[in-house]
Structure 1
């Protein structure tokens, strides 16, 4: 069984982190340099005066920022290293309150990559050690020392929130991809089941009745000259059997029809001769349809004629459901051997009306069954185009 490409292929999930390892390392290096610059400037401000910072303070600032180069791969050791560097920096004179940026970035990174228990335990420990070190060094500023614990809690809370957001987006993306795959698989499964069921029904009907017709035709041919009355009876049986076969075939094929198709009992098979009536019905429903023809009109094969009608009908139905504006263009182009059909309508990748998604699959099935082709795609000019090719009937030679 030939498989057809789905009109809505699921897209691959996006990478969670933009860029490769080299790009991330450069980002971390830029962050470390920024922290060094900001903290060196802050260390130069003592009270309301400006003075050169202690060399040990600059060294500890550089060491703490350098730890951040490995924050993505080893967040817990990096957190421990930056906290130790910041605690050591509190012991360097002049003893002043400041923001431990390297430790806060490390705690944020730990919270985005580790379990909640690990990140909150590390954050509480880091905040307590920083606050305790500040209290021991500056006993008279207990309230000011507690701000270090607040810094640590905020850093962990922000990182934990970012981690939850990333997890939610990843799960939503996974569910969307799974739903898309499930929908496509369900559509293919229904097509396969429908093919098998209809093939089985048609086989039963055709085999039984054509076998009887063949046998009765043989009898009629044998008796045509010797016993015309019995031959006439055989021909009558052929007519009855053929009528029964047509009735059963019509009932079987009617299972393929849409709910809005006319009853197959008395209606003739639709063709391009009734195209204007079809377009008028859509115009009456509010869809502005424009029709154009190129080339010399030539009859198509019976199956291709029916297929062309159904493809245009389905494409305009989709246009009425999904088009961003109620307009559509139908173009028929005739060549010596092929009928080219183009149906376009304004569309948008962000706009989709109600539907099952089986319409495009059904049109491809019809075109393939008529020895033709069909493609459907959203073009760069924000128009959706259905493009089909169907064979025309061979030209008859009057002198043959």
Structure 2
């Protein structure tokens, strides 16, 4: 609304000034009827009022009328302000190439009409050169305004995109941290809760039949629950730290604690056959943690879903550039069928539940630069096979 009011006010001002010039006899020496001067004054005011809305039309109309006045002998036609205003408005809205092309054509036409359209004119006369100056200055002013506006818009757009990228990065980091914490909670809790479940059942059975035999299962429950509480306290303490969470603050297990891990499953009633081939060596931190957690989760799944009458075989094969971990266990025939968790190895195994364990193992292997396969093998056995990078130049032997 303010723009329209300003345009109408400017148009009225130009129309009044042009009409006053006609009434004072500015056009008598050129034998122009007063009515024609008044119409031209009205056109000049209308041109200024519409210059912002339709600058190209205003430029064409006002320039054509001005050329006619110049040829008729006028030195300064009534539409001179309309031409400059329309060129300015056009330069603020159109590309530089378009606005300067129209300005050059318009300026040359007005200059030619002023210099050669009436007797006594010449190309070098000041009044003729004024037209080139007027059109050039009006276009340059409009172009400067447009360039400034485009620059401000670009800066604001960059700031907006930077803020959007920052928010997306924050959301991405939050999602990654939530996923990491979910994996840690699953890995920490699943195994020890499974041990507590088995040992509590054994303790309950012993209390009804042979109370003195309930001691060892209760001791296992106490140790497992203490470990769960200690690790959960570490995770919760990490979450309470200000700023970004740093996984290095948590004591991370690795293959150096593999023997303790296997002993804990043995205490839970799982028979384990452990074999290791090749020359062991230090793994990168991410690979070391992934190797431990994958073995832990595979043994937990074997205890929950496998047949405990046969041993679970855990094999570590130290190859030239990789460490291959295989955890193989027998599965009941009833477990084979629908609801499978498939992997690159082929058919899967119904594990009951959403299967976050296998998903977490694959994510850990991928994060460490390796891969994981899980599926049935010959003889109704389920195998988890993880391949993790183990460059020989990274570290010494374990």
Counterpart contact for 2:44–2:78, Cα < 8 Å: no
Aligned 8 A contact 1:124 1:152 in 2: yes
Match in the other structure for 1:82: 62
What does 1:1-400 correspond to in 2, within 5 Å?
19=1, 24-42=3-21, 55=34, 56-91=36-71, 95=75, 100-136=80-116, 137=118, 139=120, 142-224=125-207, 226-258=209-241
- Please give the alpha-carbon distance, in whole angstroms, between the structure 1 residues aligned to 2:37 and 2:25: 13
Q: TM-score, normalised by structure 2?
A: 0.52
Deviations 1:153-209 (A, max 9, x none): 000000111111121222222222222222222222222222232223212322221
Work out whether residues 221 and 231 of structure 1, in 8 Å CA contact, stay in contact via their aligned partners in 2. Answer: yes
| Rounded Cα–Cα distance in structure 2 between residues aligned with 1:259 and 1:121 | 61
Residues 254 and 264 in structure 1, CA contact (< 8 A), matched pair in contact too: no
In structure 2, how many angstroms separate the alpha carbons of the residues matched to 1:172 and 1:256? 37
What's the CA shift string for 1:55-101, capped at 9, x where partnerless? Answer: 13332232233234543454223211111222233356775588810
Aligned partner of 2:354 in structure 1 is none
Is the 8 Å Cα contact of residues 70 and 78 (structure 1) preserved in structure 2?
Answer: yes
> Secondary structure of 1:224's partner?
helix
Does the aligned pair in 2 maintain the 1:216–1:234 contact within 8 Å?
yes
| Residues in 1 aligned to 2:81 and 2:59: alpha-carbon distance in whole angstroms | 11
Q: Which has the larger radius of gyration?
A: 2
Residue 254 (structure 1) shift: 4.3
Report the Cα distance in structure 2 between the residues aligned to 1:107 and 1:152, rounded to whole angstroms.
7
Judged with a 3 Å threshold, the aligned counterparts in structure 2 of structure 1 residues 25 and 96 are, in CA distance, closer, same or farther, namely closer
The total of aligned residue pairs comes to 239
| Superposed CA offset, 1:9-55 (max 9, x none) | xxxxxxxxxx5xxx6555433322121123334556789xxxxx961
Q: Is the 8 A contact 2:40 2:79 kept in 1?
A: no
1:341-392: CA deviation from partner (whole Å, max 9, x where unpaired): xxxxxxxxxxxxxxxxxxxxxxxxxxxxxxxxxxxxxxxxxxxxxxxxxxxx
CA distance, structure 1, for counterparts of residue 250 and residue 171 of structure 2: 27
Instruction: Kindly indicate whether the alpha-carbon contact (under 8 Å) linking 1:65 and 1:82 is maintained by their aligned counterparts in 2.
Output: no
- My pick for the range that moved more, 143-152 or 127-136, is 127-136
The CA RMSD over aligned residues, in Å, is 3.3
Distance 2:41 2:23 in 1: 13
TM-score (norm: length of structure 1): 0.52
* Maintained 8 Å contact 1:60/1:88: no
Asked whether the equivalents of residues 57 and 89 of structure 1 are also in contact (C-alpha less than 8 Å), the reply is no
2:341 aligned residue? none
Q: Distance in 1 between matches of 2:183 and 2:67?
A: 81
Unaligned regions of 5+ residues in structure 1, if any?
1-18, 48-52, 266-400
Deviations 1:127-154 (A, max 9, x none): 2222222223363671232112101100
Q: Is the 8 A contact 1:219 1:231 kept in 2?
A: yes
Would you say the 8 A contact 1:35–1:65 is kept in 2? Answer: yes
Structure 2 counterpart SS, 1:67: helix
Q: Relative to structure 1, is the Cα distance of residues 229 and 241 closer, same or farther in structure 2, using a 3 angstrom cutoff?
A: same
Residues 95 and 138 in structure 1, CA contact (< 8 A), matched pair in contact too? no
- The verdict on how the C-alpha distance between 1:99 and 1:138 changes in structure 2, with shifts beyond 3 A counting, is farther
Tell me the distance in 2 between the aligned counterparts of 1:134 and 1:93: 8
How many angstroms does 1:221 deviate by?
A: 3.0
How far apart are the structure 1 equivalents of 2:233 and 2:107? Answer: 81
